[in-house]
Amino acid sequence: MIVIMLSEACTPADRRRIIDLVQFAGTGLRVHTPELLSLSGDRDAIRALLSDEPCVLDIAKLPAAYPRSARLHGRPDCTPVTLGESSIGGPGFTVVAGPCSVENRSQLLTTAEAVRAAGAHALRAGAFKPRTSPYSFHGLGVPGLRLLAEAREVTGLPVVSECVDVRDIEVMASSVDMIQIGARNMQNYTLLREAGRTRVPVLLKRGLAATLDELLLACEYLLDGGNEQVVLCERGIRTFETSYRFTLDVAAVPVLKERTHLPVIVDPSHAAGAKGRVVPLALAAAAAGADGIILESHHDPATALCDGAQALPVEELPALMERLGHACAAAGRTMRAATPARAR
Amino acid sequence: MIVIMLSEACTPADRRRIIDLVQFAGTGLRVHTPELLSLSGDRDAIRALLSDEPCVLDIAKLPAAYPRSARLHGRPDCTPVTLGESSIGGPGFTVVAGPCSVENRSQLLTTAEAVRAAGAHALRAGAFKPRTSPYSFHGLGVPGLRLLAEAREVTGLPVVSECVDVRDIEVMASSVDMIQIGARNMQNYTLLREAGRTRVPVLLKRGLAATLDELLLACEYLLDGGNEQVVLCERGIRTFETSYRFTLDVAAVPVLKERTHLPVIVDPSHAAGAKGRVVPLALAAAAAGADGIILESHHDPATALCDGAQALPVEELPALMERLGHACAAAGRTMRAATPARAR
Amino acid sequence: MIVIMLSEACTPADRRRIIDLVQFAGTGLRVHTPELLSLSGDRDAIRALLSDEPCVLDIAKLPAAYPRSARLHGRPDCTPVTLGESSIGGPGFTVVAGPCSVENRSQLLTTAEAVRAAGAHALRAGAFKPRTSPYSFHGLGVPGLRLLAEAREVTGLPVVSECVDVRDIEVMASSVDMIQIGARNMQNYTLLREAGRTRVPVLLKRGLAATLDELLLACEYLLDGGNEQVVLCERGIRTFETSYRFTLDVAAVPVLKERTHLPVIVDPSHAAGAKGRVVPLALAAAAAGADGIILESHHDPATALCDGAQALPVEELPALMERLGHACAAAGRTMRAATPARAR
Amino acid sequence: MIVIMLSEACTPADRRRIIDLVQFAGTGLRVHTPELLSLSGDRDAIRALLSDEPCVLDIAKLPAAYPRSARLHGRPDCTPVTLGESSIGGPGFTVVAGPCSVENRSQLLTTAEAVRAAGAHALRAGAFKPRTSPYSFHGLGVPGLRLLAEAREVTGLPVVSECVDVRDIEVMASSVDMIQIGARNMQNYTLLREAGRTRVPVLLKRGLAATLDELLLACEYLLDGGNEQVVLCERGIRTFETSYRFTLDVAAVPVLKERTHLPVIVDPSHAAGAKGRVVPLALAAAAAGADGIILESHHDPATALCDGAQALPVEELPALMERLGHACAAAGRTMRAATPARAR
């Protein structure tokens, strides 16, 4: 991407003439501000063309539409992101598990302890739930965050939870180890901007009709704010097929790995929509080279307040962990070491 | 939808037993809160089944998943929504036109005057712009709102403009005649909740991968807050076709008209992506029975700071208005009377 | 598209070297045969590059990926296609109507007479029906063609009917005025090739997941065989929305009109899936500039052997014709004159 | 699915009355022929309703819309399908590899030998190629089949090749071990019917916009003809994402396994569109529980006459086979034993 910077003295007529000139030499002219033009094309050709224009201050070449997220020459293949005392990205595979939502103390602690005992690495659970209907359960809110803090204290597991309101960013940042920005908010730029101002790791889920480039551009909002701790998450896209809830786009894993240095994980639960399909999708994600998975698990799915149908019973987690080990081996990885039990 | 209300004395064991019972009599059990169950099924059958359960307080039947938006027996076919001194909905067809964004005073006033002179009924222009890239132009902000107020003062046209941040709802509510909630924020429930607390008319655009039922459920957030002034807008969905920007779903017009009493308009500009296709799509929308259109028009599209390619030059508006008259006749409607010029 | 023709004397090593050379000068190298390379790029640059290669016979520039279908400089905007004594394309708007399938003599003749009386211009009805399930009704076959011939004889209406088997092309060509190739067979190249060898006009329907360019390339098979009488038909594409059967892509009309000189019509019935939506979609198609519509109509939809739900009762055709007149006016067209009743 | 059989004495009035009756008791009435009605609903309720109707011969209940493909009570989980002296389905994992098309003797034999040496189980290569453009390479035709026979003779590998023309079914049936019906022909019912009359195993690929139920219904055409040797193949569907060629729907594997007793394999090449993504997708398919994969491999991808970009170089096959072993282990399977080299 070529960016042309104009001086403040640039008149509309100057601007118009420059636009006419560059439209012969480039494509996809996108005018950003009165002081900035951007387009695709050859920088030298554009430079030559505009050499006599006094109000052109500079002609720069950005390495990509998302310069901070892009996997560029000289950058590592994958920049690990902190998750409590552990991390996501690198040779180890990370498993985040837990219920769709925090329902009550006993449900959360029972599930969290089972997640830890199975060898998973972090706990997920929503205190604030975005729901399609205004008449559905929307989460416990701040009391849910307090229960999450307790679960972390008891199990030693770091905690991932979703933020749905820009006004909650501060309380989230002080309560959880990783803030999730969900699929429906992937292009809620206000929320992205504010999360980008914190230094708390962010898990950014792909919108259900977002292209991979749009996901990387949304991510760029976070990085542009100075927060470099971002994990991307494929969670299924919307297609014509109605046999399941969303179409898990497993090819997103290798394609994102080509384009970005940030870790990429997969949520197999929302796409599956039904328990029996979660394990095959989790294994597929690991075999395709994901840095981890985040899945819904519950100690009693039949009574779950949301998404019970797709929750893996916690007693099936140990078998999944073992099978994930084989799938990781296919991808040339190993399972990350488990979080040790807390001494009490 | 059947809703079962439980008493606070309900123990988990009671709750579990009730769930087991209703799962035989209904389908799609969705548990909302510890005090509420909802499912589909026959109310009388469920009532009989639960007659011996002391912790069941009441069993209610909601008329639809979106009871406030639904076109129910006894409701009018279409409830008009106020737009300045005019309205959207009913026998008249409404045209809202204007630039993608407020760029400066002269651009806005020139375009606004041309919009009024062509006989269109309201002015659109963005002061806050949601953009895919963090490096693009994001609008003038509050100064843009002030220019919009001036344009309204000068032309008499009511003003429609987008709100992208829940923290701006108040300033928007005091500045514009209709708040637009854009496609990317259709499921930003925080924003919907706050807009639902105002009494300013809202234009709710369909998300680019939202089903029509999801649009109506998003709308329900607004109505649930007490704001009954909502207009729905089809603006193109995302499909596999790449020949244009989005696929205009013209069938959304008759289908929404079957399901809701709220007015339905169409944005032909974002789907078209190119000027030459805007007029055919606008005419198609009118012929299919839409209550109006909202389109991008600019006095000098080549210099527009955003979406110039799809902006209709203002000098083509009068011919469009005339052709829309024929398309409205096909749908059994007439064009709404123009806003008279302001006496100065 | 640049095409490079190689001599038979070209060795694999020669070919490899040429490929390496052109990959620096062009993009999208698509190797067709050992004697042909094709790619995008600048012909002069490629010519210069290959000037020393003795086994390059010629370097030609095709005007488009679909040179025969493309709307090129010097060609008319729209080439009318014969339909009996009438035609499709040009200033007049054409209406083709009739039942999904030929069921029996009385059904067909009753419907055909009503179609003619309403002022529609041709009769459609399937004798061979492609069906998703092997256990569904698949049409009357050749006896159905005989009934169609009788209906034409009685009403004077030309007849459009679908061919689903390459071995039926001859009998179809001698029985009907226009052979329909349905959406499911749009990329049945065998059928396209054989239909291209006849001189019977062809109605080619867009596949339900075909891009507009793929439709034009499928059309090119017909034209490449020497059959220049082809009408294209938009009939709805498959998307995530499930509120109706297919998403009618009304923007396909102006986009195809930009790209091809062939007539473009719309089938509003299959997308609608329900009677009440057929009229709005038909009007939208006319207003968007289509050259005609083809719709399902039946004298008794409740007993139709297929697609009864989306069939417009014949008694509603006259009102539709009148409303189409207004929609045509919006698009700057007029309704084509009706077929006069046969003197008996 | 309930099927109601009517006597030949049934008058239209009888038929109409019966239809009216069953519409109160069932849903989704689909009338097949004058002698047959089908619908969903409760058989006993419908039987009671029609007890006084003398022209109702019988009321039967079909186990599913696709009774022959469905995984029903009493059937095995997976019915293996013969492939030469080996098979697809059961505990072993099968790898079919080879070039997109047969280009010449040396190319085919070189690649085939490498495929065998790597331990893959069958050879794929097209003699007839369906191509989007009429101006592309369409395969060598019958001489290509002869080269395939020679490759089988030399390597001992069974051969899979695509049939695109119903008139070629016989020559294909006598030349190859498994006839492929490609994605574009999945709903070419003529071809399905004729392939169903042979007893040659068929590989049926999912259409690029076909639902899984439509794939099973297409499969039912084959089984209905008496050919019980059918393997289903997921090969990527068309979605809005343009970062790769098609979206590999890995969830199709567990969902098809729930619904059918037929083997399910995956083609990772066409979805990937680029070499570097083939291996991750192949591993994902194996981990998700597929019975095998079919992939494009070439001894010199840069010179391939079609699909070179997505062909895995044959020298990378051995490493893939090893990694597939791990992915199979994740799914609880093992790699099928390799075809021994031919004694010469």
pLDDT digits (tens, 9 = 90+) for D311-334: 999 999 999 999 999 999 999 999
Q: Do A221 and B134 touch (CB under 8 A)?
A: yes
Q: Which residues of C touch A239 (CB under 8 A)?
A: 240
Nearest CA to CA, how far is D326 from chain A (Å)? 5
Give residue ranges of A with CB < 8 Å to any D CB: 209, 211-213, 237, 239-244, 247-255, 258, 271-272, 276-277, 280-281, 283-289, 323-324, 326-327, 329-332
Q: Which residues of C touch A240 (CB under 8 A)?
A: 209, 238-240
Phi, psi at residue C61, to the nearest 5°?
A: -115, 115
Task: Summarize the confidence of residues D105-133 as an average pLDDT.
Answer: 95
What is the pLDDT, as a whole number, of residue C141? 93
Please provide the DSSP assignment of D41-82 as one string: E-HHHHHHHTTT-TTEEEEEE-SSSSTTTB--TTS-S---EE
- Which of A12, A33, A65 is nearest residue B303 as measured by Cβ atoms? A12
Judge whether residue C2 has pLDDT over 60.
Answer: yes
To the nearest whole percent, how much of chain C has pLDDT over 90? 66
What is the pLDDT, as a whole number, of residue D28? 57
Nearest CA in chain C to B239: C239
Q: Which residues of D touch C166 (CB under 8 A)?
A: 165-167, 190
Cα distances from A75 to residues A88, B283, C140, D343, in angstroms, run 17, 52, 67, 52
Q: Find chains touching chain A: ≥3 CB pairs under 8 Å.
A: B, C, D
Which of the four pLDDT bands, split at 50, 70 and 90, describes residue C344?
Answer: low
Contact B93, B324 (CB under 8 A): yes
Which of the four pLDDT bands, split at 50, 70 and 90, describes residue C72?
Answer: confident
ipTM for the predicted complex: 0.86
Phi, psi at residue C27, to the nearest 5°?
A: -135, 160
Phi, psi at residue D295, to the nearest 5°?
A: -135, 160
Give residue ranges of D with CB < 8 Å to any B CB: 209, 238-240, 242
Q: Which of C298, C309, C321, C319 is nearest to C114 (CA)?
A: C298
Nearest CA in chain D to A269: D251
Task: Summarize the confidence of residues C212-232 as an average pLDDT.
Answer: 94
Nearest CA to CA, how far is A222 from chain B (Å)? 9
Task: Summarize the confidence of residues D26-33 as an average pLDDT.
Answer: 56
Quick one: DSSP state of residue A314?
G
What is the pLDDT, as a whole number, of residue C105? 96
What is the pLDDT, as a whole number, of residue A33? 54
Q: Which of B215, B206, B167, B186 is nearest to A165 (CA)?
A: B167
Q: Which residues of B touch C288 (CB under 8 A)?
A: 280-281, 283-284
Looking at residue D304, its amino acid is A
What is the pLDDT, as a whole number, of residue B26? 59
Angle (deg, nearest 10), helices B275-287 and B317-330: 30
Cα distances from B308 to residues A27, B101, B267, in angstroms, run 14, 10, 15
Nearest CA in chain A to B13: A303
Q: Which residues of A touch B308 (CB under 8 A)?
A: 31
Show the DSSP H helices in B42-188 as ranges.
43-49, 105-117, 142-155, 169-173
Mark the ranges of chain B whose per-residue pLDDT is less than 50: none
Nearest CA to CA, how far is C109 from chain D (Å)? 17
- Which of B242, B280, B332 is nearest residue C253 as measured by Cβ atoms? B280
Contact B303, A16 (CB under 8 A): yes
Q: Which has more pLDDT, A90 or C74?
A: A90
Q: Which among C188, C241, C307 is the top mutation candidate for probing chain D, defined by the most D β-carbons within 10 Å of its own β-carbon?
A: C188
Q: Do D238 and B240 touch (CB under 8 A)?
A: yes
- Which of C19, C132, C238 is nearest residue D217 as measured by Cβ atoms? C132
Which of the four pLDDT bands, split at 50, 70 and 90, describes residue D147?
Answer: very high
Nearest CA to CA, how far is A288 from chain B (Å)? 24
- Which of D31, D132, D209 is nearest residue C305 as measured by Cβ atoms? D31
Place of tokens 């039947």: B61
Nearest CA to CA, how far is C237 from chain A (Å)? 10
What is the pLDDT, as a whole number, of residue A24? 58
Helix (H, G, I), strand (E, B) or coil at D154: helix
- Which of B209, B211, B329 is nearest residue C242 as measured by Cβ atoms? B211
Give residue ranges of C with CB < 8 Å to any B CB: 209, 211-213, 237, 239-244, 247-255, 258, 271-272, 276-277, 280-281, 283-289, 323-324, 326-327, 329-332
Write out pLDDT tens, residues C235-258. 999 999 988 999 999 999 999 999
What is the pLDDT, as a whole number, of residue A61? 67
Judge whether residue C34 has pLDDT over 90.
Answer: no
Q: Do A237 and D241 touch (CB under 8 A)?
A: yes
Q: N- to C-terminal Cα distance for chain A?
A: 56
Nearest CA in chain C to A208: C240
Q: Which residues of A touch C240 (CB under 8 A)?
A: 209, 238-240
All domains of chain B in start order, with CATH: 2-61 (3.30.70), 81-335 (3.20.20.70)
Nearest CA to CA, how far is C181 from chain D (Å)? 12
What is the pLDDT, as a whole number, of residue A344? 57
Task: Summarize the confidence of residues C73-85 as an average pLDDT.
Answer: 87
Alpha-carbon distance D114 to D98, whole Å? Answer: 9
Q: Which of A129, A106, A87 is nearest to A270 (CA)?
A: A129
Write out pLDDT tens, residues C41-53. 677 778 877 888 8
What is the pLDDT, as a whole number, of residue A45? 73
What is the pLDDT, as a whole number, of residue B159? 98
Helix (H, G, I), strand (E, B) or coil at A205: strand
Nearest CA to CA, how far is B148 from chain C (Å)? 32
Predicted TM-score (pTM) of this structure? 0.87
Q: Find chains touching chain C: ≥3 CB pairs under 8 Å.
A: A, B, D
Ranges A312-316, D36-40, D218-222, D324-328: which has the least confidence: D36-40
Q: Which residues of A touch D209 (CB under 8 A)?
A: 240
What is the pLDDT, as a whole number, of residue B62? 62
Phi, psi at residue D97, to the nearest 5°?
A: -140, 160
Write out pLDDT tens, residues D59-89. 776 656 788 888 876 778 899 999 999 999 9
Residues whose CB falls within 8 Å of the CB of residue D159, separated by 6 or more in sequence, listed in order: D84, D122, D123, D124, D125, D148, D149, D151, D152, D175, D176, D177, D178
Q: Which residues of C touch B215 (CB under 8 A)?
A: none
The two counts, helices (H) then strands (E), for chain D are 11, 16
Nearest CA in chain B to C245: B251
pLDDT by 10s per residue, chain A, length 344: 677 878 777 777 787 788 777 765 555 565 555 666 777 667 777 787 788 888 888 777 665 678 888 887 677 889 999 999 999 998 999 999 999 999 999 999 999 999 999 999 999 999 998 888 887 778 899 999 999 999 999 999 999 999 999 999 999 999 999 999 999 999 999 999 999 999 999 999 999 999 999 999 999 999 989 999 999 999 999 999 988 999 999 999 999 999 999 999 999 999 998 899 999 999 999 999 999 999 999 999 888 888 888 899 999 999 999 999 999 999 999 999 997 877 65
Write out pLDDT tens, residues C144-197. 999 999 999 999 999 999 999 999 999 999 999 999 999 999 999 999 999 999
Which of the four pLDDT bands, split at 50, 70 and 90, describes residue C339?
Answer: confident
User: Which residues partner with D40 through β-bridges?
Assistant: D27
Place of tokens 């909905």: B89
Helix (H, G, I), strand (E, B) or coil at A303: helix
What is the pLDDT, as a whole number, of residue D73? 67
What is the pLDDT, as a whole number, of residue A51? 81
What is the pLDDT, as a whole number, of residue A62? 62
What is the pLDDT, as a whole number, of residue D16? 77
Nearest CA to CA, how far is D238 from chain C (Å)? 7
Show the DSSP H helices in chain D as ranges.
12-25, 43-49, 105-117, 142-155, 169-173, 189-197, 212-224, 252-259, 268-272, 278-287, 317-330
Give residue ranges of A with CB < 8 Å to any C CB: 209, 238-240, 242
Q: Which of C261, C318, C329, C270 is nearest to C294 (CA)?
A: C270
Q: Which residues of A touch D254 (CB under 8 A)?
A: 276-277, 280-281
Judge whether residue D211 has pLDDT over 70.
Answer: yes
Nearest CA to CA, how far is D250 from chain C (Å)? 18
What is the pLDDT, as a whole number, of residue A159? 98
Average pLDDT, rounded, for chain D: 89
Place of tokens 């079609």: D306
